[in-house]
Structure 1
Amino acid sequence: MFLLEGIVMHKISYLLALTVIIAFICLVFTDLGAEYVCGDANSDGLLNVSDAVYIINYVFVGGDPPDPDCCPECPPIVTDIDGNVYQTVPIGDQCWMAENLKVTHYRNGDPLSSWWDYDYDEANGFVYGKLYNWYVIADSRGIAPEGWHVPSDAEWQTLVDYLGGEAVAGGKMKEVGTFRWNSPNTGATNESGFAGLPGGMRFSTGNFDFMGEMGTFWSTTEYDGSQVWFLRLVYNSSNILRSVDFKQTAYSIRCVKD
């Protein structure tokens, strides 16, 4: 009797655990409050225990990854030429990477002419992504994964407008808490899923600064012959700030789907 009850309780616990995992899948692959749904990790047309098993197999056993074609409008992951895998997030009518770019080769396999880990520390590059000057963005060989590109200033503005404008969009785009962001990380909710990180920057002089305080993101739009538009998130404001800087400066890159 006790053995039977133990088996039953074990199965119930197992199913409850899988239910939690399925809920996690829905949270990761669903744009809450919208009609976009992509929790079908194995692309069988159903959202069930099989999807949980599929994710477990991928994360813990090394099996097949979630199907990147399960949601053509915004596949859950994208892989660059170096094999780095990035989570994605649908925001409005756009599909964004939810992580900073880490690639060190152009799309054709040629090595990038320049890139940096903050303070030359590879661990920083792993967490916050690489820092790039604008010249690698302008190179015709392409730095973004196939089917993706570095956003224009107008595409950034589309994102900011969707999130309610410059005064509040920054908070909706920042990772919450003060583990990576310096306190007080004003207004951070990450309700967009963008998960912006304070990766800092590299000056053209070779100095690094502002990790923990600021996340900076290039656009492709030139202001003049020597400067380009970029956006930044800051630790002490919910604003997203739009400005220009010289092409030699190195910032983070986020890509948007074609």
Structure 2
Amino acid sequence: MKNTLFIILPALLFVACGNDSSTSANNSNDDISSKSSSSQMSVLSSSDKVADVIGNSMTDSRDGQKYKIVKIGSQVWMAQNLNYEMADSYCYENYAGSCTKYGRLYTWAAAMDSAGIWSTTGKGCGYGKICSPTYPVRGVCPSGWHLPTQTEWNTLFTVVGGSSVAGEKLKSTSGWYNNGNGTDGFGFSALPAGYRRYYGFSGGNNCAGFWSASEHDSNDAYYIYLSIDNVGAYLELSLKDNAFSVRCLKD
């Protein structure tokens, strides 16, 4: 059931955080991954190696970029947004420095690797179609990591104290506009990367959105948002053609 705190928020939040879906999310804890059974991931590139994890960091073997990682409960997360360049991914306001600071923004099709470049688990998933992914969906993530489902995001919220306070716990301690910073109590270090709609960028310094691998219908998929206006973190729906950040979860 949708958290009632969200319902009473001002309409500006919908603009700032990319919720322009025509369908309301139900914030259910049902495991959407039950649509498909898990199977061995088929990696299509023989040069693709499992990301090297050393201490509190990992290296993406595809481009050599290094990312901080953090263990929260039983889950191991990237503690930085993915910055792997591919089609339908963007730097905020098309400024390369934004990618360096915030990572890239991906459409849902790009996040799911709809083209099947790295695996077949999310192949064919995109706007205007219902797909049948095989979980875990590697998507655009490095080998050995995957795009988290709605259920896996909810697991994170539970560990940090519940969705009503998760935003404050997951946001970085600096960088958010108007003292909207968080406590970063678990090292997730979410920055206000904003998002991209088909007609332009919005939400920089005000909000962060992260895709899930969970589809709602042919047009909408689940994402989580964090905002300067709220200490919570919520799963909502957005059009698949919008572009949000990606945080990968270790297999």
Which has the larger displacement, 141-150 or 88-97?
Answer: 141-150
140, 146, 157: which one pairs with 1:143? 140
Which one has more relative contact order, counting CA pairs under 8 Å at least 6 apart?
2
Partner residue, 2:204? 211
TM-score if structure 1 supplies the norm length?
0.66
Structure 1 segment 122-133 matched on structure 2, within 5 A: 122-133=96-107
Partner Cα separation in structure 1 for residue 70 and residue 238 of structure 2: 27
| Distance change in 2, residues 1:217/1:85 (3 Å) | same
Partner Cα separation in structure 2 for residue 200 and residue 137 of structure 1: 16
| Distance change in 2, residues 1:69/1:244 (3 Å) | closer
Partner Cα separation in structure 1 for residue 53 and residue 214 of structure 2: 30
8 Å CA contact 1:183, 1:236 repeated in 2: no
State the one-letter code of the partner of 1:137: A
Query: How far off its partner does 1:236 sit?
Result: 2.3
> Can you give the 5+ residue segments of structure 2 that lack an aligned partner in the other structure?
1-51, 119-138
RMSD value, Cα: 1.3
Partner Cα separation in structure 2 for residue 155 and residue 133 of structure 1: 20
Answering whether residue 220 of structure 2 is matched by residue 227 of structure 1, we say yes
Q: Which has the higher helix share?
A: 1
Partner Cα separation in structure 2 for residue 83 and residue 244 of structure 1: 33
Structure 1 segment 177-216 matched on structure 2, within 5 A: 177=174, 180-185=175-180, 188-205=182-199, 207-216=200-209
| 3-state secondary structure, aligned to 2:243 | coil
Partner residue, 1:98? 79
> Can you give the 5+ residue segments of structure 1 that lack an aligned partner in the other structure?
1-67, 105-111
Once the two structures are aligned, what percentage of the paired residues are identical? 34
State the one-letter code of the partner of 2:78: M
Greater radius of gyration (CA): 1
Query: How far off its partner does 1:148 sit?
Result: 0.4
Query: How far off its partner does 1:175 sit?
Result: 0.3
Partner residue, 2:7? none
8 Å CA contact 1:115, 1:133 repeated in 2: yes
TM-score if structure 2 supplies the norm length?
0.68
| 3-state secondary structure, aligned to 1:146 | coil
